Amino acid sequence: DGGITQSPKYLFRKEGQNVTLSCEQNLNHDAMYWYRQDPGQGLRLIYYSQIVNDFQKGDIAEGYSVSREKKESFPLTVTSAQKNPTAFYLCASSIIVLWGQSTDTQYFGPGTRLTVL
């Protein structure tokens, strides 16, 4: 089955802890994205990556970090610097039709619900 997997489905964090959310895709997509969803709001972009070993900040990158060591994987670390991390996190991927100039449909994983205790 081709698709995007995220783990864990639910994650609990204590104050001051860093936690890492996993995102893996076997669609051979070039680009990967992390979004945050809060109640009553749409999705907001945290980070994105178009190629291995390169990534860019989105609209709300503060308190988060990412890595892209493999094309298939794009883990997100929520650091202790993130003041309000309780949210639903969605990972997505897409092909890139023309490098940096075009887009294609983003496909989403099932999400991770992060709760700070």
Partner 1 sequence: AQTVTQSQPEMSVQEAETVTLSCTYDTSESNYYLFWYKQPPSRQMILVIRQEAYKQQNATENRFSVNFQKAAKSFSLKISDSQLGDTAMYFCALSTGANNLFFGTGTRLTVIP
| Interface stretch with partner 1, choices 14-22, 45-53, 63-71, 72-80 (CB under 8 A) | 45-53
Contact 73, 59 (CB under 8 A): no
Residue 107 sits in the site that holds partner 1 (CB under 8 A): yes
Which of 19, 33, 64, 76 binds partner 1 (CB under 8 A)? It is 33
Among positive and negative, which fits the CA dihedral 22, 27, 32, 34? negative
Shortest Cβ 107–partner 1 spacing (Å): 7
d(CA 84, CA 23): 21
| Of 1, 2, 100, 117, the one binding partner 1 by CB under 8 A | 100
13 lies in the site for partner 1, by CB under 8 A: no
112-116 and 10-13: which strand pairing?
A: parallel
Query: In the set 16, 42, 83, 84, which binds partner 1 (CB under 8 A)?
Result: 42
50 interacts with partner 1 by CB under 8 A: yes
Peptide bond into 8 cis (omega under 30): yes
